[in-house]
């Protein structure tokens, strides 16, 4: 840590950790309900649980991104964060809006729109909070000595994410319009501007962890974010196959979404090649594991598992089934969840001055969480394929099929328990680090020359 | 070999070009495509009220419509054709959780008017041209109902 104001990042990560625990809890509620045990139906019906589960995901990842930005931007711009007090205010506002939203969902205070359930009144507060966040980031960049590509790509992603939230706030009487513009937010976030944020964070981590020349890393960063938009913008079309839209989206969405894995393949190759090229070895091996793991699982989960059902000929049958849940879980975990974990792992020794670079618990957390997620994805895949075969192809009634699927959810619950164990171990490690300390300010990062 | 400047140009030009195409297609979809495909002329006040109720109660939190939503309860795009208005109204107006095969639906206990509005919404969406979704099962339905 070079600048005192970077400490604020820690509290965003702490918020992320708290929210993950809640997200996992609501995930279990849903998995049990799918299995037939819906004992909480009266207080937390399924539609409440899913709204909480999905919005917590979005909020904890955004909180992680914000924390990362508050750490990266001062480092890249070589200056203290502008107005650190405002950053703490922004954090508190984010937490308060989040809590109100989650509580509100239990009283049907929401909009029935997948991923964007936060009610309109709170949307305005979200906008104010994000504007405050962007003001702090951009003002820091403005007064800083340097404007690096990494900082610009990261900031560009953050500004884009804020702008793209707006189309989701328009009310349409026609349901098809609502669906159309909802994907402007959700798709152009996760397969567009969030990948810019991902690319920026990944580039920063690779510069620090591998010691490869910044110019090389940033050149490839441009290529990757270029590929992201080349495929991702028109790839939005894969949400417009069957939602009351013209049929040209079948062709356009099919072609461009088939190209989307290229961007994620680029990310994975980027990380692997830079790691191999590295002439220095950073002692924070766990951070490197999470970084490479994130790039690889993003390619598998977001890239390949997305490709598996993105072509219109396949999607006609799998659209609106558990196959989507299969892709969604690993995609979010690989691309965004693990990336936030990678950043936290990298940054904790720097923030606290405690060089706990490699612990057994930390290493097991990585493996257990990832094995758990791969098993969860497999359980969803089995359930999804069976659902498609019985309901869509053989023509059985929805609930007749749903009752046949219980054993996949039994497997899912076991897998999710493994995953949660890993995540809880990670959170335990986070807790063990303690809070940031000013004594970490003088500490230099240690690079070790490659000797193996 | 590619320079950093060329890489930046690739990013800028690609993003600009594909954004323009996307916005152009969006314009066509919004002005021409969706009104035609959803038969917007049939969208009565009752349909709009039904859609508002649909939104207020987060029906997509369990069901799917046009294949979008959660996968806990049946796809409802063609429910009007499949079940007819009487059955749907009975479900919507039920004061106890509807659970024909064990899985419970929230007992909304809608009024007659509200149920009519939701039925109008479901009928309207069932008539939309969704490019062949949901597909007809390959094999003959063997379901009891």
What does the pLDDT look like over A39-71, one tens digit per residue?
A: 999 999 999 999 999 999 999 999 999 999 999
Residue pLDDT, tens place only, A347-383: 999 999 898 888 999 999 999 999 999 999 999 999 9
pLDDT at res. A143: 93
Residue A2 CB contacts under 8 Å (≥ 6 apart), including other chains: A74, A75, A441
pTM: 0.95
Give CA–CA dist A412/A9, Å, rounded. Answer: 34
Indicate the pLDDT class of residue B142, thresholds 50, 70 and 90: low
- Integer-rounded Cα Rg, in Å, for chain B is 21
Give CA–CA dist A332/B67, Å, rounded. Answer: 21
DSSP letter string, A274-320? HHHH-SEE-S-HHHHHHHHHHHHHHIIIIIIHHHTTTSHHHHHHHTT
Cis link prior to A370 (omega < 30° from 0)?
A: no
Residue A449 has pLDDT above 60, yes or no: no
SS3 A205: helix
The C-alpha of B79 sits at a distance from chain A's nearest C-alpha, in angstroms, of 12
pLDDT at res. A14: 97
pLDDT at res. A281: 80
Task: Pull the structure tokens for residue A398.
Answer: 């929805």
Residue pLDDT, tens place only, A418-445: 999 999 999 999 999 999 988 888 766 6
pLDDT at res. A450: 46
**Cα–Cα separations (whole angstroms), residue A84 to A4, A7, A91, A235, B130:** 9, 9, 11, 39, 51
Nearest to B143 among A173, A229, A397 (CB): A397
> CATH: 3.40.50.300, 1.10.760.10, 1.10.20.10, 1.20.120.10. Which one for B44-134?
1.10.760.10
Please answer yes or no on whether A219 and B15 come within 8 Å at the CB atom: no
Task: Pull the structure tokens for residue A210.
Answer: 């591998």
Give CA–CA dist B64/A266, Å, rounded. Answer: 34
Instruction: Kindly state the average pLDDT of the residues B91-99.
Output: 95
pLDDT at res. A448: 56
Comparing CA positions, the residue from A244, A101, A140, A44 lying closest to residue B61 is A44
Comparing CA positions, the residue from A421, A445, A264 lying closest to residue A348 is A445
Task: Pull the structure tokens for residue A391.
Answer: 């309901």
Q: Return the residue matching tokens 């080349």.
A: A230
Nearest to B37 among A38, A229, A246 (CB): A246
Please answer yes or no on whether B139 and A395 come within 8 Å at the CB atom: yes
Nearest to B103 among A108, A220, A399 (CB): A399
| Contact present, A81 and A2 (Cβ < 8 Å) | no
Nearest CA in chain A to B14: A230
Comparing CA positions, the residue from A156, A268, A150, A266 lying closest to residue A208 is A150
Give CA–CA dist A21/A30, Å, rounded. Answer: 15
Please answer yes or no on whether B15 and A226 come within 8 Å at the CB atom: yes
Cβ-Cβ contacts under 8 Å, B19 against chain A: 229, 233
Residue B133 has pLDDT above 90, yes or no: yes
Range A158-170 burial, b when 16+ CB lie within 10 A, else e: bbbbbebbeebbe
Instruction: Name the DSSP letter for residue B75.
Output: B
Share in percent of chain A as helix, strand, coil (round to 5):
80, 0, 20
| Contact present, A333 and A372 (Cβ < 8 Å) | no
Q: Determine which of A176, A184, A212 to mutate to test the interface with B (most B C-beta atoms within 10 Å).
A: A176
pLDDT at res. A355: 87
pLDDT at res. B140: 64
| Contact present, A30 and A49 (Cβ < 8 Å) | yes
| Contact present, A422 and A376 (Cβ < 8 Å) | no
| Contact present, A315 and A254 (Cβ < 8 Å) | no
Please answer yes or no on whether A112 and B61 come within 8 Å at the CB atom: yes
| Contact present, A286 and A366 (Cβ < 8 Å) | yes
pLDDT at res. A442: 72
Instruction: Give ipTM to 2 decimals.
Output: 0.95
Range A222-250 burial, b when 16+ CB lie within 10 A, else e: bbbbbbbbbbbbbbbbbbbbbbbbbeebb
Task: Pull the structure tokens for residue B62.
Answer: 């369990």
| Contact present, A144 and A210 (Cβ < 8 Å) | no
**Cα–Cα separations (whole angstroms), residue A234 to A168, A240, B4, B38:** 18, 10, 25, 22
DSSP letter string, A46-58? HHHHHHHHHHHHH
* Long-range CB contacts for residues A111-114, cutoff 8 Å, separation at least 24: A111/B55, A111/B58, A112/A47, A112/B54, A112/B55, A112/B56, A112/B57, A112/B58, A112/B59, A112/B60, A112/B61, A113/A168, A113/A178, A113/A182, A113/B55, A113/B60, A114/A54, A114/A182, A114/A186, A114/B60, A114/B68, A114/B69, A114/B70
Q: Return the residue matching tokens 């959170």.
A: A427
Give CA–CA dist A120/A332, Å, rounded. Answer: 25
- The average confidence (pLDDT) of chain A is 94
Indicate the pLDDT class of residue B141, thresholds 50, 70 and 90: low
Please answer yes or no on whether B58 and A117 come within 8 Å at the CB atom: yes
Indicate the pLDDT class of residue A31, thresholds 50, 70 and 90: very high
Q: Domain coordinates of chain B in residue numbers?
A: 1-38, 44-134
Cβ-Cβ contacts under 8 Å, A395 against chain B: 137-143
Query: H or E segment at A4?
Result: none
Comparing CA positions, the residue from A405, A400, A434 lying closest to residue B102 is A400
Please answer yes or no on whether A36 and B43 come within 8 Å at the CB atom: no
Kindly give the interhelix angle for A248-277 and B4-28, rounded to the nearest 10 degrees. 160
Cβ-Cβ contacts under 8 Å, B28 against chain A: 246
| Contact present, B88 and B79 (Cβ < 8 Å) | yes
pLDDT at res. A278: 86
| Contact present, A344 and A63 (Cβ < 8 Å) | no
Burial class (CB in 10 A: 0-12, 13-18, 19+), A174: buried
Give CA–CA dist B72/A38, Å, rounded. Answer: 12
Nearest CA in chain A to B4: A219
Q: Determine which of B54, B57, B60 to mutate to test the interface with A (most A C-beta atoms within 10 Å).
A: B60
Please list the residues that pair with A448 across neighbouring strands. Answer: A281
Instruction: Kindly state the average pLDDT of the residues B120-133.
Output: 96
Comparing CA positions, the residue from A336, A428, A407 lying closest to residue A373 is A336
Residue A446 has pLDDT above 70, yes or no: no
Strand A280-281 with B64-65, pairing = unpaired
Indicate the pLDDT class of residue A293, thresholds 50, 70 and 90: very high
Instruction: Kindly state the average pLDDT of the residues B61-83.
Output: 96
The C-alpha of B91 sits at a distance from chain A's nearest C-alpha, in angstroms, of 15
Cβ-Cβ contacts under 8 Å, A403 against chain B: 101-102
| Contact present, A57 and A332 (Cβ < 8 Å) | yes
Nearest to A179 among B66, B70, B101 (CB): B66
Indicate the pLDDT class of residue A451, thresholds 50, 70 and 90: very low
Nearest to A245 among B37, B59, B134 (CB): B37
Please answer yes or no on whether A114 and B134 come within 8 Å at the CB atom: no
């Amino acid at each position: 840590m070079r600048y005192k104001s970077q400490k604020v990042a820690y509290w965003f990560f702490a918020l992320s950790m708290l929210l993950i625990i809640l997200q996992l809890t609501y995930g279990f509620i849903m998995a049990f309900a799918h299995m037939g045990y819906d004992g909480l139906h009266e207080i937390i019906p399924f539609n409440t649980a899913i709204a909480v589960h999905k919005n917590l995901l979005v909020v904890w990842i955004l909180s992680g991104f914000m924390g990362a930005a508050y750490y990266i931007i001062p480092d890249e711009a070589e200056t203290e964060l502008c107005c650190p007090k405002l950053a703490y205010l922004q954090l508190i506002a984010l937490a308060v809006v989040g809590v109100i939203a989650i509580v509100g969902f239990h009283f049907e205070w929401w909009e029935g729109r997948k991923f964007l359930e936060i009610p309109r009144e709170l949307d305005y507060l979200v906008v104010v909070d994000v504007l405050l966040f962007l003001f702090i980031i951009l003002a820091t960049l403005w007064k800083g000595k340097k404007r690096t590509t990494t900082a610009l790509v990261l900031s560009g992603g953050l500004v884009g994410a804020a702008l793209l939230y707006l189309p989701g706030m328009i009310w349409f009487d026609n349901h098809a319009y609502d669906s159309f513009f909802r994907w402007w937010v959700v798709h152009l976030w996760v397969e567009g501007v969030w990948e810019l944020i991902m690319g920026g964070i990944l580039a920063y981590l690779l510069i620090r962890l591998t010691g490869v020349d910044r110019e090389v890393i940033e050149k490839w960063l441009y290529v990757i974010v270029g590929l992201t938009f080349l495929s991702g913008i028109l790839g939005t079309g894969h949400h417009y196959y069957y939602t009351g839209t013209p049929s040209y989206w079948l062709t356009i969405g099919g072609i461009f979404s088939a190209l989307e894995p290229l961007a994620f393949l680029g990310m994975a190759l980027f990380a692997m090649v830079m790691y191999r090229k590295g002439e220095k070895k950073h002692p924070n091996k766990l951070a490197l594991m999470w970084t490479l793991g994130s790039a690889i699982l993003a390619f598998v989960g977001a890239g390949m598992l997305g490709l598996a059902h993105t072509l219109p000929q396949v999607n006609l049958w799998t659209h609106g089934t558990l196959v989507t849940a299969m892709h969604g879980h690993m995609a979010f975990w690989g691309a965004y969840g693990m990336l936030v974990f990678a950043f936290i792992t990298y940054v904790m020794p720097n923030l606290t001055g405690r060089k706990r670079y490699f612990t057994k618990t930390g290493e097991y957390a990585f493996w257990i969480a990832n094995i758990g997620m791969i098993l969860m994805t497999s359980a969803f895949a089995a359930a999804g394929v069976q659902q498609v075969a019985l309901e869509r192809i053989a023509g059985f009634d929805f609930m007749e099929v749903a009752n046949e699927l219980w054993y996949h959810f039994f497997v899912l619950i076991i897998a999710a328990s493994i995953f949660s164990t890993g995540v809880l171990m990670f959170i335990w490690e986070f807790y063990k680090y303690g809070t940031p300390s000013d004594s970490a300010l003088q500490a230099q990062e240690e690079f070790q020359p490659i000797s193996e | 070999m590619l320079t950093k400047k060329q890489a930046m140009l690739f990013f800028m030009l690609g993003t600009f070009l594909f954004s323009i195409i996307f916005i152009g297609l969006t314009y066509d979809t919004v002005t021409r495509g969706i009104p035609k495909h959803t038969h917007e002329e049939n969208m009565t006040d009752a349909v709009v009220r039904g859609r508002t109720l649909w939104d207020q109660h987060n029906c997509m939190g369990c069901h799917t419509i046009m294949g979008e939503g959660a996968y806990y309860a049946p796809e409802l795009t063609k429910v009007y054709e499949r079940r007819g208005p009487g059955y749907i109204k009975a479900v919507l107006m039920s004061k106890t959780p509807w659970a024909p095969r064990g899985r419970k639906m929230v007992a909304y206990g809608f009024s007659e008017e509200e149920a009519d509005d939701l039925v109008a919404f479901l009928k309207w969406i069932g008539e939309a041209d969704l490019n062949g979704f949901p597909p007809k099962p390959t094999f003959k339905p063997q379901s009891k109902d």
